[in-house]
Each structure stands twice: as C-alpha cells, then as structure tokens.
C-alpha cells in the first residue's frame, strides 16, 4: 500500500510542475494518465493525450513564461492544492505581459494530488495574454491595469 502524501509533498509537486513549465521541461510525467484538465477557452479534457494536446494549444500562444514562486499563496486540504500567483512572460508574437503591469499574469490553479501524481488540474486565468481582446470590454481601451496590491472599491 502506498504511503499517504503529506501536505508539504503535495505542495512541492505543485511547485515542481510550475517550475518545469517555466523551464520548458517535460512535466507530463507528474500527471496521472487519467488526468482531468480545465483551461479557459479549451474546456475540460480527460486523459494524458488530450491534456498534451491542450498544452500544445496554450503553448502556441506563448513565447515564454515565468511564475513568481516567492509570492505564491497555497491552500492545501486533503488531496486538493490551490496555488494562487502571478507570472510574467511574452506571447508568441513578442508581446510582454506581467502581473500588475498588464492585465494578464494573475492566475489560480486548483489541483488534486495523490499517489505522487497530479490527477486534476483546473487553471483559472484570462488567456488573453497580449491584452488584445479590448473591443468586447470598452473599459479596457487605453486603461492601465490595477496596480499590485490594490482592491477595487
């Protein structure tokens, strides 16, 4: 019988996934073969092959990404790990984004981690990394993003 994972082991696995993602290294070995993924504008996909395809689609939007590990907020409850954080990077066409500077870069991942594998990964963010989707949101045209640490009234 497999030994139960500790909260710290779950947190470490979640962090390892994000670090490998940033370095462009293989992270799929961290996933269970029956993983379920949710990503905005893709929806829910099941199984490692479908998840690989989904990441290829998302990856085609990005030139690179770096998550701000030191500022993550973690909530661990049983098998569930929630990681909230910020990131910066470039889109495939070279547009830069950074949380607190542009509208993109804030995100939250909800994972189920057990038996040393990620079984569920639901990613919550705005996939408009370049900030180009302003026509549908007139308040964004020429607007500066909310500074880090600010709260809307």
CB neighbour list of residue 143: distance below 8 Å, 6 or more residues apart? none
Task: Name the average pLDDT for the chain.
Answer: 92
**Residue-number span of the structural domain to which 99 is assigned:** 7-112
48 or 145, higher pLDDT: 48
pTM above 0.85, yes or no: yes
47 within some domain? yes
Q: Is 58 a member of any domain?
A: yes
Q: Is residue 84 part of a domain?
A: yes
The answer to the question of residue 152 being in a domain is: no
Average pLDDT over residues 83-106: 95
Whether the Cβ atoms of residue 87 and residue 66 lie closer than 8 Å to each other: yes
12-61 pLDDT per residue, tens: 999 999 999 999 999 999 999 999 999 999 999 999 999 999 999 999 99
- 3-12, 68-77, 106-115, 132-141: least confident range: 132-141
43 within a domain of the structure (yes/no): yes
Classify residue 148: in a domain, yes or no.
no
Residue 151 pLDDT more than 70? no
Instruction: For the chain, give the percent of residues with pLDDT over 70.
Output: 91
- What is the rounded average pLDDT of the residues 53-82? 97
Q: Is 11 domain-assigned?
A: yes
DSSP state of 6: P
In a domain, residue 117? The reply is no
- Determine how many CB atoms are found less than 10 A away from the CB of residue 37: 24
What is the number of domains present in the chain? 1
Q: Alpha-carbon distance 152 to 145, whole Å?
A: 11
Question: In this structure, how many other beta carbons lie within 10 angstroms of the beta carbon of residue 25?
Answer: 10
What pLDDT score was predicted for residue 136?
A: 84
CATH number reported for the structural domain that contains residue 79 in this entry: 3.10.450.50
Bridge-based pairing of strands 80-91 and 96-98 is antiparallel
pLDDT at 118: 98
Q: Is the predicted pLDDT of residue 142 greater than 80, yes or no?
A: no
């Amino acid at each position: 019988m497999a030994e139960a994972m500790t909260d710290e082991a779950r947190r470490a696995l979640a962090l390892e996934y994000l670090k490998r993602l940033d370095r462009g290294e293989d992270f799929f070995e961290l996933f269970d073969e029956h993983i379920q993924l949710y990503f905005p504008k893709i929806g829910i996909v099941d199984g490692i092959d479908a998840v690989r395809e989904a990441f290829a689609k998302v990856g085609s939007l990005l030139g690179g990404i770096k998550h701000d590990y030191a500022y993550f907020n973690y909530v661990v409850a049983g098998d569930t790990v929630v990681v909230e954080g910020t990131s910066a990077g470039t889109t495939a066409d070279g547009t830069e984004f950074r949380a607190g500077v542009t509208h993109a870069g804030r995100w939250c991942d909800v994972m189920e981690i057990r038996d040393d594998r990620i079984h569920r990964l639901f990613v919550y963010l705005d996939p408009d990394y370049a900030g180009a989707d302003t026509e549908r949101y007139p308040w964004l045209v020429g607007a500066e993003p909310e500074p880090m640490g600010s709260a809307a009234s």
